[in-house]
Amino acid sequence: MAFISVAEPDDLSRIQRLLIDCHLPFEDLTPAHLQRFWVVKQGLTCIASIGLEEWGDIGLLRSLAVRFPHRNNDLASELVDMAELYAKDQKLKALYLLTTTAVAFFSKRHYQLITRENFPEVLKQTAEFHSLCPATAVCMWKPL
């Protein structure tokens, strides 16, 4: 099992570099996001991350990224587990996400496809939905 920690303020640029390297949106990421970001670090390098934005009683999973040499060793699953446990502790009712590459991964974790039209209105206002993720991104959700 990896050592997962809550992101610290000086992790922002490391997380942004990870997201850039993994071809994921990073432009809207601010220090305020780091309170709900979990990371795995190797030395000073962030090798994996996940974030959770809380919007009332639902959450938006974002920025699940694992550096290529560290993929396929359960880091992504461990990070999703951490975010889901946190969401349940916060009494969130569901988690939503947008993905262009991880449909199979999230499907195995019981996330279901949802149309863009049925994505929650509050989440349609996020930069992830309306500008950062392409219109071809798949929308998924999981009741908690």
Domains of the chain, CATH where assigned? 4-143 (3.40.630.30)
pLDDT tens profile 31-44 = 999 999 999 999 88
pTM, two decimals, is 0.93
With cut-offs at 50, 70 and 90, classify the pLDDT of residue 1: low
Q: Which residues of 35-45 are buried (b: 16+ CB within 10 A; e: fewer)?
A: ebbbbbbeeee
**Calpha distance 57→54 (Å, rounded):** 7
**Calpha distance 54→109 (Å, rounded):** 20
Mean per-residue pLDDT over the chain, rounded: 93
Judged on CB neighbours under 10 Å (0-12, 13-18, 19+), 128 is buried
Among the listed residues 31, 42, 35, the one whose alpha carbon sits nearest the alpha carbon of residue 3: 42
